[in-house]
Chains A and B, each alone.
Chain A
Amino acid sequence: MADANELQAQLKILCDAYAAQLPEKMKQLEQAWEQLPLDSWDEEGFQTLHRMVHSLTGSGKTFGFSLLSDVARNLEDHFKQLAQAKTTLNEQQRSHIQGLMSELHQATLHRDAPVGDQTGLTAVVPLSQSLAGSKHIFVVDDDHEQAEELKVQLCYFGYEVSVFSNLADFRLAMQANPDVTVLIDINFPEDSQGGVQAIKEIQQGRDIPLTVIFLSAHNEFDARLEAVRAGSIAYLSKPVNIGNLIDKLDNLTSTLSSAPYKVLVVDDSESLSTYYAILLEQAGMVVKVVNNPLDVMVPLLEFTPDLILLDIYMPECNGLELAKVIRQLDIFVSIPIVFLSAESDLDKQLFAIGLGGDDFLTKPIQPQHLISSVTSRIQRSLILRSFMVRDSLTGLLNHTAIQDQLVLEVARAKRQETSLAFAMVDIDHFKQVNDTYGHPAGDRVIKSLSRLLKQRLRETDVVGRYGGEEFAVILNNTDGVAAVKVFDTIRKSFSQLQHFADGKEFSVTFSCGIADVLCFNDSPKLGDAADKALYKAKHFGRDQVVLANDPAATRL
């Protein structure tokens, strides 16, 4: 089987050769058209012309000229009508054909984006990058006091902040193209729309738009519209509700959009599945290929894809049966399944969708089509899933989701014989925080711990909010002893964080219990052991990390 990249290269050579021949073909075609007599019906000459056009219909798209195929088909349909009448063409018919011929000529200049071409794919890729937001924030406000106040608050939430009191300084700083999120006032002394103007100018010079949040004392529609036109992602009225602002910023930096999409391709054709995989990988996704549908279970559980691309016609187990099997697993009830098939019969497509498919792509599929349809399916499904599995305050996995995840990760760790630790974290004396400083202050403490955990742990670790002031973390490829070290560092950082409420400063600590999968080999035992270790940590005086004892060791 030929290497897919080499195939692409060979295919490109053929497409280039076809493109090079097109001007000559068009010239012959135009000659054949001009040679048709004006005053009689020339059957043979017309047949020749028809065949030339027919050949373009049948080849254009194959060589990357889709538009050419379409226009040629249109012209052919017209020819068919004329061929039935077999009468001398009148003025109107001639000018209609002339028009279609020049469209055809135009179409020869219109080449599709080459397969796998990077410029063609960039429209998809930077989307997640531009959504990522930055930890560094520029606050631009002529009211220096307000700006400094905002800076202090944002710093509590782990953001790095620079303040600018005038637009000139801000413009100067932006010349270095820093990766920042901008919070900017609309009204400046020199210009009531100064903030909007400055942002519009800066946006013009950028490929990836700057992430901007406008702040304004005005709440009129006009001002909001101008802000949107300048590319703002949010508009907040002054005085700024800091909780609201943090939510917006957290959404920008949320992990939701940053992890690459995972797609499982199930197709018995090795070459085709490799081809799909390459296309999707070029668009920044992670792809796993299964060629035998009977082998799908292990990759399904270990790879936990965001979407499954399923061929319909496969030996041993067809795509429709496989979709049913996958849907019967609770954790995959909501996963998008997209069927791939040469089937163009709408009834059969609907039948397939009834069996658990979400979409139906008919082969041959245009590369762009495949990528955009997979991307949008995953985006929507992740947003829906996030409502189901994410905690609304912190954006972390909720109780059920982290438990489901623990079952999956423990199974994976056992199969792959890797280590895994499970940690339970509980904020100490949280009720006192709420009682003394109020619930909004309590929520901020929870958010600050959630942010700290996300910042300090690896992408591969899974963080969830177990409930109230309790968090749960799955650390993959980490044993209990290493996990204790990690959490002890986080514990020290957290205890040094200063929280503020009503002008008062306070600090908070947490306790943590950890269990190692080597000693507790299924998820209920692991959860129970971590919980007991947490209880011990509380019992020993809080603000500490305790590792659950190996039950086998204590018996000795």
Chain B
Amino acid sequence: MADKLTRILYVEDEPDIQMVARLALEALGGFTVEICSSGDEALQRAPGFQPQLFLLDVMMPGMDGPSTLKMLRALPQFCNTPAIFMTAKVQPGEVAGYKALGAVDVIPKPFDPMTLASRVQDIWDRCHG
């Protein structure tokens, strides 16, 4: 595969979820993960980190996931970077809504730390397959 997924920017406000996701994505998935606790932080750090994929929690205080993605998309280097939303609110109709907002897929929360990395990889493979 031409572009192997290595760099993920993850936006999540909850520290305990941040930790378990870092473990799941770095130790289990072998990815390099940059974690931001808010949409603002993500906007500041994304250009320096040059992520290949965004992983965004939907419900966050302040700027939520979809708004964060909109702002990121406004930066020219991220107008095509795939994004995945993570949310506890997944109704069949809602997934389509999130995709309309520019996400390639939605990972439901609570996620299983043991399979998170492979889910992310699967989604990546699908949009590059």
Asked whether, in the complex, the Cβ of B19 is within 8 Å of the Cβ of A14, the reply is yes
B121 touches A61 (CB 8 A): no
Scan residues 17-60 of chain B and give those whose CB is less than 8 A from a CB of chain A: 17, 19-20, 23, 27-30, 59
Q: Would A69 and B118 count as touching, CB distance under 8 A? A: no
Flag whether B76 is at the interface (Cβ < 8 A). no
- Give chain B residues whose Cβ lies under 8 Å from the Cβ of A455: none
Determine which residue in B87, B112, B117, B126 has the highest number of CB atoms from chain A within 10 A of its CB, and name it.
Answer: B112
Closest Cβ–Cβ distance, residue B21 to chain A (whole Å): 9
- 8 Å CB contact of B16 from A1, A59, A271, A365: A59
Name B83-129 residues within 8 Å CB distance of A.
Answer: 86-88, 109-119, 121-122, 125-126, 129
Contacts of A2 in B (CB 8 A): 27-28
Q: How far is the CB of A239 from chain B (nearest CB, A)?
A: 58
Taken together as a complex, chains A and B put the C-alpha atoms of A11 and B21 apart, in Å, by 10
Which residues of chain B are within 8 angstroms of A14 by Cβ–Cβ distance? 16, 19-20, 23
Taking the nearest CB of chain A, how far is it from the CB of B91, in angstroms?
A: 11
Tell me if B14 and A11 are in contact (CB < 8 A). no
Partner of B87, one of A7, A58, A69: A58
Whether B20 and A62, one on each chain, are in contact in the complex, defined by CB atoms closer than 8 angstroms, is: yes
CB distance B87 to A271 under 8 Å?
A: no
Contact of A11 among B113, B118, B129 (CB under 8 A): B113
A54 located at the interface, meaning its Cβ lies under 8 Å from any Cβ of chain B in the complex: yes
Residue A356 CB within 8 A of the other chain: no
With A54-B59, A58-B110, A62-B113: A272-B118 Cβ-Cβ less than 8 Å: yes
A17 in contact with B16 given A62-B112, A363-B118, A364-B114 (CB within 8 Å) = yes
Contacts of B113 in A (CB 8 A): 11, 62
Contact B88 A57 (CB under 8 A): yes
With A59-B14, A363-B119, A365-B115 known as contacts, the answer to whether A271 contacts B110 (CB < 8 A) is: no
The verdict on A18 contacting chain B, using a C-beta distance below 8 Å, is yes
Q: Are B114 and A342 in contact (CB under 8 A)?
A: no
Interface check A151, CB cutoff 8 A: no
In this complex, the interface size class of chain B, counting residues with CB under 8 Å from chain A, is 20 to 34
Chain A residues whose C-beta falls within 8 Å of the C-beta of B30 in the assembled complex: 1, 271
List of A residues within 8 angstroms of B110 by Cβ = 57-63, 69
Q: Does A313 contact B (CB under 8 A)?
A: yes
A315-B122 in contact (CB<8A): no
Name the contact of A51 in the complex, choosing from B59, B87, B122 (C-beta under 8 A).
B59
| A363 to B113 CA separation, bound complex (whole angstroms) | 11
Docked-complex contact A7 and B88, CB < 8 angstroms: no
Q: Which residues of B contact A275 (CB under 8 A)?
A: 28, 114
On chain B, the residues within 8 Å of A73 by CB distance are 88
A367 to B39, CA, bound (A): 35
Residue B74, interface by CB 8 Å: no
B2 within 8 A of A: no
Given the interface pairs A2-B28, A313-B126, the reply to whether A364 lies near B115 with Cβ below 8 Å is: yes
Q: Does A192 contact B (CB under 8 A)?
A: no
- What residues of chain B lie closer than 8 Å to A10, measured between beta carbons? 23, 27
Knowing A62-B111, A272-B114, A363-B118, the reply to whether A55 touches B14 (Cβ < 8 A) is yes
Contacting residues of chain A (267-302) with chain B, CB-CB under 8 angstroms: 269, 271-272, 275
| Cα A363 to Cα B112 with chains together (Å) | 8
CA distance A24 to B83 in the complex (A): 34
Q: Determine the residue in chain A with the shortest Cβ distance to B13.
A: A55
Interface check A21, CB cutoff 8 A: yes
**For B19, B59, B113, B126, which residue has the most chain A Cβ atoms within 10 angstroms?**
B113
Taking CB atoms and an 8 Å cut-off, the chain A residues in 55-107 that contact chain B are 55, 57-63, 69, 73, 76
> What distance in Å separates the Cβ of A319 from its nearest Cβ neighbour in chain B?
12
Specify which chain B residues have a CB less than 8 angstroms from the CB of A315 in the assembled complex. Answer: 1, 125, 129
Please give, as numbers and ranges, the residues of chain B lying within 8 Å of A58 by CB-CB distance: 14, 17, 59, 86-88, 109-110
User: Which listed residue, B17, B28, B88, B119, touches A271 by the CB 8 Å rule?
Assistant: B28
A321 to chain B, nearest CB (A): 14
Interface string of A17-39 (1 = CB under 8 A from B): 11001000000000000000000
9 A-B pairs (CB sep. < 8 Å) = A18-B16, A58-B14, A60-B110, A62-B20, A63-B20, A269-B118, A275-B114, A313-B122, A313-B125
Question: Contact residues of B with A, CB < 8 Å?
Answer: 1, 14, 16-17, 19-20, 23, 27-30, 59, 61, 86-88, 109-119, 121-122, 125-126, 129
- In order of increasing CB-CB distance, the 4 nearest A-B pairs are A364-B112, A58-B109, A61-B110, A58-B88
Known: A55-B14, A76-B88. 16 other contacts (CB 8 A): A1-B30, A2-B28, A11-B20, A14-B19, A14-B20, A58-B59, A58-B109, A59-B109, A62-B112, A63-B20, A115-B114, A272-B117, A275-B28, A313-B122, A313-B126, A342-B119
